[in-house]
Structure 1
Amino acid sequence: MNLNLYIANKIRKGEITGKKLSGPIITVATIGIVLGITVMILSLAIGTGFKKEIRDKIIGFGAHVQVVNYDYNSSFETNPIERDSAFTTMVLSIPGVKHIQEFATKPGLLKTNDNIQGVIIKGIGKDFNWTYFNQILVEGTKPDVSGEATSNDVIISSTLAKLLRLKVGDKVPMFFFQERMRARNFTVSAIYDSSLPEFDKLFIFADIRHIIKLNNWNNDQITGYEISLDEFDQTPTLAQQVDILAASRISPDGGMLRTTTITQQQPQIFGWLNLLDMNVAIILVLIVLVAGFNMISGLLIIILERTAMIGILKALGKQNHDIRKVFMYLATFIVTKGVLIGNVIGISICLIQKYAGIISLDPENYYLSTVPIHLNPLHLIYLNIGTIVVSYLMMIGPSYLATKISPVEAIRFD
Structure 2
Amino acid sequence: MNLELFIARKIHFSQDGGRQVAPPAVRIAMIGIALGLAVMILSVAIIVGFKKEVRNKVIGFGSHIQITNFDNNSSFESTPITIPAGLRDSLRAFPGISHVETFATKPGILKTDNDFQGIVLKGIDEDFDWTFFRDNLKEGEIFTIDPKKNSTDVLISRYLTDLLGLKVDDTFLAYFMQEDASRTRRFHITGIYETGFLDYDKLFIIGDIKQVRRLNEWEDDQVSGVELQVSDYDQLDQIAENLFFTLSEKQDRLGNTYYTRSIKELNPMIFSWLDVLDVNVVVILILMLAVAGFTMISGLLIIILERTNMIGILKALGQNNTSIRKIFLYVSFFIIGKGMLWGNIIGILICIIQSYFRLIPLDASTYYLDAVPIDLSLSSLFLLNIGTLSAAMLMMLAPSFLITQIDPAKTIRFE
TM range (shorter): over 0.9
CA gap of 1:289–1:310, structure 2 versus 1, over 3 A, is same
Q: Which amino acid aligns with 1:64?
A: H
For residues 156-215 of structure 1, the C-alpha deviation after alignment (integer angstroms, 9 at most, x for no partner) is 111111111111111111111112211111112211111111111111111000111111
- C-alpha distance in structure 1 between counterparts of 2:412 and 2:360, whole Å: 56
- C-alpha distance in structure 2 between counterparts of 1:410 and 1:181, whole Å: 97
**Residue identity (%):** 48
The within-5 A match list for 1:149-160 is: 149-160=149-160
- C-alpha distance in structure 2 between counterparts of 1:313 and 1:81, whole Å: 84
Matched with 2:317 is 316
For residues 379-407 of structure 1, the C-alpha deviation after alignment (integer angstroms, 9 at most, x for no partner) is 22221111111101100000000111000
Q: Which amino acid aligns with 1:239?
A: A
Matched with 1:141 is 141
For residues 19-70 of structure 1, the C-alpha deviation after alignment (integer angstroms, 9 at most, x for no partner) is x974544333222211111111111101110111111111100011100011
Structure 2 counterpart SS, 1:209: helix
1:191 and 2:187 equivalent? no
- C-alpha distance in structure 1 between counterparts of 2:26 and 2:231, whole Å: 47
1:87 and 2:93 equivalent? no
- C-alpha distance in structure 2 between counterparts of 1:63 and 1:338, whole Å: 44
CA gap of 1:353–1:136, structure 2 versus 1, over 3 A, is same
Residue 16 of structure 1: how far off its partner (Å): 9.6
8 Å CA contact 2:41, 2:381 repeated in 1: yes
1:236 and 2:237 equivalent? yes
- C-alpha distance in structure 2 between counterparts of 1:93 and 1:340, whole Å: 48
Matched with 2:13 is 13
1:400 and 2:379 equivalent? no
8 Å CA contact 1:170, 1:187 repeated in 2: yes
Residue 72 of structure 1: how far off its partner (Å): 4.0
The within-5 A match list for 1:244-393 is: 244-393=245-394
243-252 vs 101-110, greater mean Cα deviation: 243-252
1:64 and 2:64 equivalent? yes
Matched with 1:219 is 220
Residue 374 of structure 1: how far off its partner (Å): 0.4
- C-alpha distance in structure 1 between counterparts of 2:38 and 2:146, whole Å: 50
Q: Which amino acid aligns with 1:8?
A: A
Structure 1 counterpart SS, 2:412: helix
Gaps of 5+ in 2: none
Residue 362 of structure 1: how far off its partner (Å): 3.4
208-217 vs 340-349, greater mean Cα deviation: 340-349
- C-alpha distance in structure 2 between counterparts of 1:92 and 1:353, whole Å: 39
8 Å CA contact 1:21, 1:305 repeated in 2: no
CA gap of 1:94–1:252, structure 2 versus 1, over 3 A, is closer
- C-alpha distance in structure 1 between counterparts of 2:105 and 2:9, whole Å: 70
Structure 2 counterpart SS, 1:114: coil
Residue 355 of structure 1: how far off its partner (Å): 2.6
Q: Under a length normalisation based on structure 2, what TM-score does the superposition of the two structures give? A: 0.95
Residue 15 of structure 1: how far off its partner (Å): 5.0
8 Å CA contact 2:66, 2:226 repeated in 1: yes
8 Å CA contact 2:110, 2:116 repeated in 1: yes
CA gap of 1:44–1:187, structure 2 versus 1, over 3 A, is same
Structure 2 counterpart SS, 1:176: strand
Residue 281 of structure 1: how far off its partner (Å): 1.3
Q: Which amino acid aligns with 1:203?
A: F
For residues 331-382 of structure 1, the C-alpha deviation after alignment (integer angstroms, 9 at most, x for no partner) is 1111222223322332232123223333333333332222211012222222
Matched with 2:73 is 73
For residues 69-126 of structure 1, the C-alpha deviation after alignment (integer angstroms, 9 at most, x for no partner) is 1114211111111122222222222343221110000111111111111111101111
Residue 413 of structure 1: how far off its partner (Å): 4.2
Matched with 2:203 is 202
Q: Which amino acid aligns with 2:261?
A: T
- C-alpha distance in structure 2 between counterparts of 1:119 and 1:349, whole Å: 40
357-366 vs 303-312, greater mean Cα deviation: 357-366
Q: Which amino acid aligns with 1:395?
A: M
8 Å CA contact 1:34, 1:338 repeated in 2: yes
For residues 215-261 of structure 1, the C-alpha deviation after alignment (integer angstroms, 9 at most, x for no partner) is 11110111110111223322111101221332243222221101111
- C-alpha distance in structure 2 between counterparts of 1:153 and 1:22, whole Å: 70
- C-alpha distance in structure 2 between counterparts of 1:94 and 1:27, whole Å: 59
Q: Which amino acid aligns with 2:307?
A: R
Gaps of 5+ in 1: none
Matched with 1:34 is 34
8 Å CA contact 1:87, 1:245 repeated in 2: no
Matched with 1:53 is 53
8 Å CA contact 1:70, 1:256 repeated in 2: yes
Matched with 2:3 is 3
- C-alpha distance in structure 2 between counterparts of 1:58 and 1:114, whole Å: 31
Q: Which amino acid aligns with 2:51?
A: K
- C-alpha distance in structure 1 between counterparts of 2:125 and 2:351, whole Å: 39
Aligned alpha-carbon RMSD (Å)? 1.8
For residues 299-335 of structure 1, the C-alpha deviation after alignment (integer angstroms, 9 at most, x for no partner) is 0000000000001111111101011111111111112
8 Å CA contact 2:78, 2:105 repeated in 1: yes
314-323 vs 182-191, greater mean Cα deviation: 182-191
